[in-house]
Structures are given as C-alpha cells and as structure tokens.
Amino acid sequence: MKSLAAALVGSAALLAVAACSAGSGTSSGTSPGADQSLAIGLVAEPASLDFTTTDGAAIPQALLGNIYNGLVKQDETGKIVPDLAKSWTVSPDRKTYTFTLVDNAKFTNGQQFTADDAVFSIDRVKTAWTTSLKSAMDVVQTAKAVSPTELQVTLSKPSNDWLFRMTTRIGAMFSKTGVDKLATDPVGTGPYKFSEWKRGDSIVLQRNADYWGSKPYFGQVTLKYFKDPTALNNALLTGTINVIGTVQAPEALSQFTGNDKYQVIEGTTNGEVLLSFNNSRPVFKDIRVRQAIRSAINHQALMDTCWAGRGKLIGSMVPPTDPWYEDLTGIAPYDQAKAKSLLQAAGATGATLRLRLPTLPYATSCGQVVKSQLEQAGLKVQIDQLEFPAAWLTSVLKGGDYDMSIISHVEPRDLRQVFNAKYYTKYDDPTLKQYLDAADAGDEATQIAEMKKAARRISEQAAADWLFLLPNLIVADKNIQGLPKNAITESFDLSRLTR
Amino acid sequence: MNRRLNPSLIVGGFIVGLIVLIALLSFIWTPYDATLVDSSIRLAKPSWSHWFGTDKFGRDILSQLMVGARTTLFVGLVAVGVAAVIGVPVGILAAMTPRWPSEVIMRSNDLLLAFPALLLAIMFGAVFGASTLTAMIAIGIATVPSFARVIRSGALQVMRTEYVLAARAAGRRPVPIAVRHVLPNVVSLITVQASVSFAIAVLAEAALSFLGYGTAPPTPSWGRMLQESQEFLFSAPRLAVFPGLAIAVAVLGFNLLGDGLRDRFDPRLEDRR
C-alpha cells in the first residue's frame, strides 16, 4: 500500500466502540421505545461534518458507526466483524474480496443501500476525498457490483491493511444521491440520523426509526463541545451532561472518584502523545540529537506532572491493544548524562529548538515539562502556542513550520501514516518502509513479526519521542451502561449505550 | 490634611514601589528558577524552603510571582505607553481644532470607548496570534479613548488661559503652542490617568492570560497561574490564592496611587481648601 499520510491527529482520546465494560444491558432489548435522551461532553468541536475533506478526529468520533456504517467494523476485541456486509470471502491470491451485503439497509434520505452505493463510496475515496487518509484506497484496482447485494473488490496486491482501513472512516458508506451537503447534513445508514448542529455548542442526533439493525436505546443524543476542561467537569457536576467522553483535567478527577453518583472508567486509547520532530531540519538529521532528546526526558515524571500520572508509557507507536504491541520503553530510558554527552558529541549543545504547541490541555501542560527537561540537558527550547485545530493544522501539520510539536495521534494503527516523508514528521526511512510493506503483504504471523520490527525501528532511530499513551478516561452518571473501557476505534459508538 | 502627602499617595506609592522592587529583584535573584520543573516536589505545601508552596509542575510559587511581577509591569508600561503616545496628541488635537473636526475626533473616540477592551484584545489574539505583545498593544489601543477624553478636557482649559490667548494673538503656530504651553500643563493629568490605566492594564493582562490569549507558557504570568490553578480548586485552593492576591494588591496599589496623584495635582481641590 502507498504511504498514507494520515492526518489523524485529534484532540485527545478518541473513544470507541470497544468493550461494553460496564455491563451490557443493551442486548436484552431494553425497549428502544423508551424515549430517553443523553448528553455527552466532548472537546474539540469538528470544523465541519465532512471527513472526506476535513481532517480531525472529532468528525468520525461523532459520525462513524452512528450516522454512517461501513461494510465491516471492529468489535470490542479489535476483531473485524460484519456491518453492512453480512459476510465476505477472500480469493486464494488474497487480492479479490467478495462481500455479501445486507438487503434491508436504507439511507436516511429514503434510498435503499445496494452494492452500487458501495462501489460509489469506494471509488469516491479516490476521486473526491481530499484528506491524506484517502491513500488507503490506492491499493484498490476495481470495485464492482455483481448484484444489488454482492460486491467484488479487487486489489492490486495483497494487503492486510486494506480490510482494516475499511473499518475506519475510509470505509464509510455514502448514498449516491446523498453527498451534496456532507459538511452540514450527512446522510448514512446508521442507527442515528443527523438532526441539528449548533456551531460552537453541540451536535444533536436522533434515533433512525428505519434503522436496519437493532434500534439504539436513546432516542436523542446530544454531543456537547467544551473548550475549557474545568467547564466540562462542571457540566457533569451540574447535570448538564451525563457523560464526560474524555476527561481533560485529570487532576480534578478526585471530584468524581469519591462520589457515588458517578462512575469513572479508565482504559487505554490509540492516542499516542508524540513529541514530534521535524526530521527534515538539519539538527534532527543527526540521530544523536534525536536520541539525546529521548534520553533527556523522564517519561514517568512527565506523565505524573502533566497528566496526573494517568496513561501508559509506551516506547513506540503501538498501543497495547494492537496485536504487535511490545513494551519498548527500555530502548530510551531516562539518562540525563547520556543525553548531555550525545548532544556534546553531535555539537548540538545550546541549540535552540522551537516547540510549537497546539492549544490543547495535554500539549500546553506537557510542553512546559519537556522544555524544562530538555533545557537541563543543554538545549534551548522556545515555546509558542498555536490555536487548535485551525492554526496548528495550517502551520505545523500542513506547513511543516516547526522543529518540535506535541500532539496525540489517535488514528488506529497509524505507524505508517505518521512516519512518512510526506507527513509533517518528514521521516524518510527505506528500511522502515520495507518492514511495513512486508507486514502488509504477508500472512498474519508475518504481519505481526514485521510490525514489531517496524515499531522497534522507529524507536531505535528516535524518529520521535513517545511521551505517553493517553488514557481512555470517562466519567459518567452511575446508571449509564455500555461505555467502552478501551477506546480502540475512531468512533464513539452511541448505539451501545443504555441507562 | 496634608494634600501633598495624602494617605492614598503614600500607600499606593509604597505598594507600587514594592512591586517594582520585586520585579527588579527578580532579574538578579529569585529563590528558585521560576520555570524549573521538578516533579518530585509537585504541589508541595507552603514551607520554609518554599514559602508559598509549589505548583503542579513543582515550580516555586514565590519565584513565579516575582517573575510574574515583571510581566505585569512590562505589560502595564507598554500598554499605558501606547495609550499615552496616541491618546495625548489626539486629546490635544481635539481641544485645539475647530468645532466639527473636533467633534469627528471625539465621536470616533467614543466609538472606540464603547468597544470592550477584552474583546478587542481577543480579536487581536485571534488575528495576530496570542502573545504578550499583542495583548499589550490591544490593551493600549483600548485605553486610548480614556486618555484622549481626559487630556482634551484639560487642554480645553489651558487653551482658554490668557497666556495661550496671548501666544495666539502674537501669531505663534499651533504646534509650538501645543508643545510649549498645553503639554506641560496637562502632564499631571497624564500621570494620574496613566496610573489608573495601569491598574486596568494589569487586570486585563491577567484576564487575557487566564483565557489563554495573553502571555504564553512557561513565562510566568499571574493570570496564567490562576488559570493553571483551576483544576486544583478542590484539592489545592492555595494555588489560586497567591496569584489572586498579587493581582488584587497590584490593582489596589495603582488605583490608590492614581487617587493620591489626583489629590496631589488637582487645582480644584486646592481651591476648595
């Protein structure tokens, strides 16, 4: 597969489908007639509702799995399971996928979902999408509708990654006649339909009465967006919202932990908080400088200081929920003396680096710790803040005008997308590419082995520093059930929630 | 009562002098490096080694307050400077020009006066990027109208004095009159207005930094210290108390100083006694 420079940088923890940790009352068919509403507090409001042209994790978080279905999706264990495709077969050469589609799905504009829509959606990624994620579909040679319920997709080469990407936003199924107003009025086949978007405040979703699967419990769900983490906490305390989708002020968690009215859920996410390096800068061309920075950072102290010790230390771009996870924190242990001597050897002692931070709570907070720790090792760090998303996406992600930045990459399995010469990390490494290509083309065991090599490679090469993995930190009213323990997909699946 | 050394002037002068001293001292000495992160002592309670305790980064709060005083004074100076450099000439110009141009100047002045200073600063921050500099300039511009208004009224009085009338009769050009006669006579007004505006600038900087549109981390700023203490309001409220007190005392000091200076200079008060 081609390199896909994914722009999946999101604000913070993306919450997900995943495990029904807090008991799964859903299946017992809690009568969907119960007309109850739910309000969820989130951060970083989407800039648009169209993820085909706009980057940002907040859009699929709200829409994927709720308004849009894919052919396939991930279950709580990460396994790929049927969604709009009832079943599928793969040809022996692993290049042709034949999907059998459900015959009772309808779009909210009244149109029936058929294989033609699937072909349209897959082709449209190549023709109309503008985000860098679209390259995930480059491997598709042809998609054709054999019958209204049978779809055949032929790849140019075997790819493990393709079917997985079909569980993400890339695989969302659109209506042939419903893509005119994606930015403001999305049309899908999902359990919810779009109702209203009050800009700067909230997105309201209504239960889709014609949904082809089992109906969701809540009749109306409001996704309420907050800029200020304290205001988000207060909204739950005052009953304005029922769930904090992702806690942004972990120090203030003590307000909830001791309180019987609330439940606190803590797990892992795909959100690797990266101290990214602009590898095209002369100073970062020297591996000793990159390694020095990794050694200069005391990761445990950093996580304790800036995120109240919540999260997980990771030594590479793989969260523990992925099959090829290994604990690689030993590759760059905290060693200030080593950092100093590496910098000395590279002649970079006293060099000034610009750390450009997005205005997100974890970045602002951790940036100050990074600055202090790097300065103790002999570097000079200049911090400036860029408004997130607009200014940061323009200057850093698209413009590449930075030396270092801090951002959580929440896209699932995003190692290839992030460490790529075309992405803002400007990391060009043929060896890495070789491992990744082998992983994509091989069988399952090969994939795992090669991905492990890739993860080790970027860690040893110090392509960036991994500060920590954001925790999936949810606080909710005690009686809300179905919230995910680990956030492993791009979407916040509302259909699993009950009261 | 001795008008020359009234209590407001003494107390205000003392507080302001103290803040200036602390700010100057912070250039050569603080108990600790104000931006040094030390996770092992985070959220330490006040003690002999850290008089005001430490914040969530383990930074010494006293040191931060001292360096923060620098930021506060610097913002105040530049903002008031901008306001005075624009406001004083505008005020004098309005006083010396004939009726309709004067009206145009003062009505546009009123227009700016009606515009909330914070909103202007946030707009500036959004357009030019949030920094101490944009905050200072925005606060300065927003303070121009009050300067212009006060200076104009003072200048109008001066323009009616006999020596100015004499100078005009003798054919002196307006600019020399403004510089030679009007300006020296409104200096006391400028001083008073500067002191009061300083207090407003201090508050505005704190508010902007609190909202994330002011001083960027990790440069210490009282407003940002307040903001960072938000999530600890339940667990460590002292984090909010110290910067809050510092802001309150500084604003009080500048206001008292302004009051005192007004009492000291205002000729009308003299007549009344």
Residues of A in Cβ contact (< 8 Å) with B56: 251, 305-306
Q: How confident is the model at residue B120 (pLDDT cuts 50, 70, 90)?
A: confident
More confidently predicted of B2 and A153:
A153
Place of tokens 């210290």: B225
From the list B83, B138, B84, B89, the residue with the least C-alpha distance to B115 is B138
Measured CA to CA in angstroms, residue B178 lies from A86, A177, A478, B109, B158 at distances of 87, 73, 73, 20, 10
Residues of A in Cβ contact (< 8 Å) with B209: none
CB contact (8 A) between residue B35 and residue A368: yes
Q: Total structural domains in chain B?
A: 1
**pTM more than 0.90:** no
Task: Provide the pLDDT for residue B3.
Answer: 60
**Helical (H) or strand (E) element with A365:** helix A361-376
**Of B57, B216, B231, Cβ closest to residue A230:** B231
CB contact (8 A) between residue B37 and residue A368: yes
**CB-based contact, B232 to chain A, within 8 Å:** yes
Residues of B in Cβ contact (< 8 Å) with A253: none
Domain containing residue B191: CATH number:
1.10.3720.10
Residues of A engaging B, defined by a Cβ cutoff of 8 Å: 229-230, 233, 249, 251-252, 254-255, 298, 301-302, 304-306, 359, 364, 367-369, 371-373, 383-387, 391
Task: Provide the pLDDT for residue B263.
Answer: 83
- In chain A, where the domains are located: 70-171, 269-471
Residues of A in Cβ contact (< 8 Å) with B218: 368, 371-372, 383
From the list B33, B67, B65, the residue with the least C-alpha distance to A372 is B33
Q: How confident is the model at residue B268 (pLDDT cuts 50, 70, 90)?
A: low
CB contact (8 A) between residue A387 and residue B126: yes
The distance of A219 to chain B (nearest Cα, Å) reads: 34
- Residue B36 forms part of a structural domain: no
- Residue B41 forms part of a structural domain: no
Boundaries of domain holding B263 = 11-24+52-268
Place of tokens 């303070």: B143
Tens-digit pLDDT profile for residues B202-218: 888 888 888 777 887 78
Task: Provide the pLDDT for residue B261.
Answer: 86
Residues of B in Cβ contact (< 8 Å) with A249: 230-231
Which residue, among A313, A356, A387, would best test binding to B if mutated, counting the most B CBs under 10 Å from its CB? A387
- Residue B1 forms part of a structural domain: no
- Name the pairing type of β-strands A404-409 and A262-277: antiparallel
**Of A229, A305, A386, Cβ closest to residue B39:** A305
**CB-based contact, B237 to chain A, within 8 Å:** no
d(CA A235, CA A477): 12
**Helical (H) or strand (E) element with B178:** none
Which residue, among B33, B35, B36, B37, would best test binding to A if mutated, counting the most A CBs under 10 Å from its CB? B37
Which residue, among A233, A247, A251, would best test binding to B if mutated, counting the most B CBs under 10 Å from its CB? A251
Task: Provide the pLDDT for residue A164.
Answer: 93
Residues of A in Cβ contact (< 8 Å) with B58: 305
**Of B39, B57, B130, Cβ closest to residue A385:** B130
The distance of A203 to chain B (nearest Cα, Å) reads: 25
Which region, left, alpha or beta, applies to residue A92 given φ > 0 means left and ψ of -120 to 50 means alpha? alpha
d(CA B217, CA A355): 11
Interface of B with A in 57-116 (CB under 8 A): 57-58
Tens-digit pLDDT profile for residues A86-128: 999 999 999 999 999 999 999 999 999 999 999 999 999 999 9
Nearest CA in chain B to A373: B37
d(CA A383, CA A404): 9
Q: Give the rounded percent of residues in chain B with a pLDDT score beyond 70.
A: 96
CATH architecture of A70-171: Alpha-Beta Complex (3.90)
**Complex-level ipTM:** 0.70
Query: Which segment of A324-338, B75-89, B219-233 scores lowest on mean pLDDT?
Result: B219-233
Domain A269-471 has CATH 1.10.3720.10: no
3-class state of residue A144 by DSSP = strand
Q: How remote is the C-alpha of B263 from its chain's centroid?
A: 19
CB contact (8 A) between residue A305 and residue B232: no
**Of A254, A305, A383, Cβ closest to residue B56:** A305
Average pLDDT score over chain B: 87
Q: Answer whether residue B244 shows pLDDT above 50.
A: yes
Task: Provide the pLDDT for residue B123.
Answer: 87
Measured CA to CA in angstroms, residue A14 lies from A9, A19, A270, A322 at distances of 10, 14, 7, 15
Residues of A in Cβ contact (< 8 Å) with B42: 304-305
**Of A249, A305, A387, Cβ closest to residue B58:** A305
* Per-run averaged pLDDT (10 residues), chain A, 499 residues: 37 35 40 76 88 88 94 88 94 93 93 94 93 88 94 93 93 92 92 93 93 92 90 91 90 86 92 95 94 95 91 94 93 94 93 92 91 93 84 89 94 90 93 94 92 95 95 93 89 91
The distance of B59 to chain A (nearest Cα, Å) reads: 10
Say if CB A244 and CB A83 are below 8 A apart: no
d(CA B20, CA A148): 79
- Residue B31 forms part of a structural domain: no
How many CB pairs lie under 8 A apart between chains A and B? 66
**Helical (H) or strand (E) element with A232:** helix A229-237
Task: Provide the pLDDT for residue A113.
Answer: 94
From the number of C-beta atoms within 10 Å of its C-beta (0-12, 13-18, 19+), residue B183 rates as middle
Task: Provide the pLDDT for residue A285.
Answer: 93
Task: Provide the pLDDT for residue B105.
Answer: 87
